[in-house]
Chains A and B, each alone.
Chain A
Amino acid sequence: MPGSTFAVDEPHAILDELIQAQIGQQLSSFYKELVNQPIPQNFIDLLAKLDRLEDGT
Chain B
Amino acid sequence: MKEPVNQTFQTALIAAIPNLRAFAISLCGNVQTANDLVQETMLKAWANRHRFEEGSNFKAWLFTILRNSYFSDFRRGKREVRDEDGVAAASLSSLPEQHGHMDMIDFQRALAQLSEDQKEALILVGAEGFSYEETAEICGCAVGTIKSRVNRARARLVELMGVGSADDFGPEGVSQAVMSKAVQ
Indicate which residue in B6, B169, B182 contacts A54 across the interface (CB closer than 8 Å).
B6
Q: Given contacts A23-B157, A30-B108, are A47 and B13 in contact (CB under 8 A)?
A: yes
Could you say which residues of chain A place their CB within 8 Å of the CB of B2? 54
Residue of A nearest to B14 (CB): A47
Could you tell me the distance between the alpha carbons of A41 and B18 in the complex, rounded to whole angstroms? Answer: 12
> Do A33 and B17 have beta carbons less than 8 Å apart?
no
List 13 A-B residue pairs with CB atoms under 8 Å apart, sorted by A's residue number: A8-B182, A14-B178, A18-B174, A23-B161, A23-B165, A30-B26, A33-B95, A34-B18, A35-B18, A37-B21, A47-B10, A47-B42, A54-B6
A-B residue pairs, 8 tightest by C-beta: A34-B22, A31-B127, A35-B22, A26-B107, A19-B165, A35-B18, A23-B157, A39-B17
Indicate which residue in A6, A11, A31, A36 contacts B123 across the interface (CB closer than 8 Å).
A31
Could you tell me the distance between the alpha carbons of A11 and B169 in the complex, rounded to whole angstroms? Answer: 13
Residue of A nearest to B108 (CB): A30
A interface majority secondary structure: helix
Indicate which residue in A4, A15, A27 contacts B166 across the interface (CB closer than 8 Å).
A15
A45 shortest CB reach to chain B, Å: 11
> Do B13 and A11 have beta carbons less than 8 Å apart?
no
A38 shortest CB reach to chain B, Å: 8
B interface majority secondary structure: helix
Indicate which residue in B92, B104, B154 contacts A20 across the interface (CB closer than 8 Å).
B154
Q: How many residues of A contact B (CB 8 A)?
A: 38
Q: Given contacts A31-B127, A39-B21, A46-B42, are A11 and B14 in contact (CB under 8 A)?
A: no
> Do A31 and B158 have beta carbons less than 8 Å apart?
no
Encode B139-157 as 1/0 by CB contact (under 8 A) with A: 0000000000000001001
Indicate which residue in A1, A8, A34 contacts B26 across the interface (CB closer than 8 Å).
A34
Could you say which residues of chain B place their CB within 8 Å of the CB of A43? 14, 17, 38-39, 42
Q: Given contacts A23-B158, A23-B161, A33-B104, are A50 and B46 in contact (CB under 8 A)?
A: yes
> Do B165 and A31 have beta carbons less than 8 Å apart?
no
Could you say which residues of chain A place their CB within 8 Å of the CB of B14? 39, 43-44, 47
Could you tell me the distance between the alpha carbons of A32 and B43 in the complex, rounded to whole angstroms? Answer: 25
